[in-house]
Amino acid sequence: MALDEQLVRYARDLAQVYAAREEAEAAWEEAFVRLLERRFPQLKGHYRRVAYWADHLNRALGEPLPRRALLRAARLHDIGLLALADTTVQAWARALAEDRAPEAEVREAFLAHAQLGAEALATLPGFTEGAVWVRHHHEAWNGGGGPEGLAGEAIPLGARVLAVAEAFDYQTYLLKRLSVPAARERLATLAGERLDPVLVAVFLELPLESLLENLIWLEAHEDPGR
């Protein structure tokens, strides 16, 4: 066999290996998400939406983060919730819905999910960077978050992007069901407190109304078995 033919065959085989790996990764990601949504039905669609908003924010920033790693981290950022008691998650959600700070015991127990999820994800091939973002997605710009109380740019950029994307979904879908204008105002109040003010400013420049319409269409046409 000629050398050029060998190289072509090698390239084809390598492409097939990578394609099979990506298919396997997508399958286990989907399995984890379905487990989360089955245990916490109120979170259905949350991970797809966070990935959607994080992806658009990353693009608006000029794509400083690897897209595949960011999407995977967005979809799996709450995987550690599977290790928590239902009462902890419910108490946290109730406090957020009522616009009050969770009790210290609830807060500590809930924030453990970020570290637990990161530790699990770090064992997966190629997920080292994404696991760091998952670990720190509940840190706050002013240092009042967790698990380590990081502040400002000490928080990894990927974690800050996830925090903005998740905050917007909390306001528009998960808890508040606010209109886009009201959610914009709410996000602006969180800038410099919980969220990176630069990222919030960039996010609020996005055509959020039309992007949300596209997202609603996507959700309406997703696999009915989801």
Chain Cα centroid distance, residue 212: 17
Q: Output Rg (C-alpha) for the chain, integer angstroms.
A: 19
Report whether 84 contacts 109 (CB < 8 A). Answer: yes
pTM of the predicted model, to two decimals? 0.86
| Angstrom distance (rounded) from CA 164 to CA 187 | 8
Tokens linked to 35: 């487990």
For residue 72, which amino acid is it? R
| Angstrom distance (rounded) from CA 166 to CA 49 | 8
- The residue ranges of every structural domain in the chain are 3-220
| pLDDT for 109 | 93
- Beta bridge partners of residue 136, listed in sequence order: none
Tokens linked to 37: 């949504």
Helix (H) or strand (E) holding 60: helix 46-60
Give which of 146, 130, 150 is closest to 138, Cα–Cα.
Answer: 146
Give which of 19, 21, 49 is closest to 226, Cα–Cα.
Answer: 49
Please name the residues in contact with 89: beta carbons below 8 A apart, sequence gap of 6 or more.
40, 81, 110
Tens-digit pLDDT profile for residues 62-101? 999 999 999 999 999 999 999 999 899 889 888 877 878 8
| pLDDT for 126 | 78
| Angstrom distance (rounded) from CA 124 to CA 85 | 24
Q: Regarding the domain delimited by 3-220, which CATH topology (the fold level of the hierarchy) does it fall under?
A: Hypothetical protein af1432 (1.10.3210)
Report whether 140 contacts 194 (CB < 8 A). Answer: yes
Question: Once rounded to an integer, what is the mean pLDDT over residues 187-202?
Answer: 97
**Confidence grade of residue 217 (pLDDT, cut at 50, 70, 90):** confident
Q: Is the pLDDT score of 3 beyond 60?
A: no
Q: Is the pLDDT score of 219 beyond 90?
A: no
| pLDDT for 11 | 63
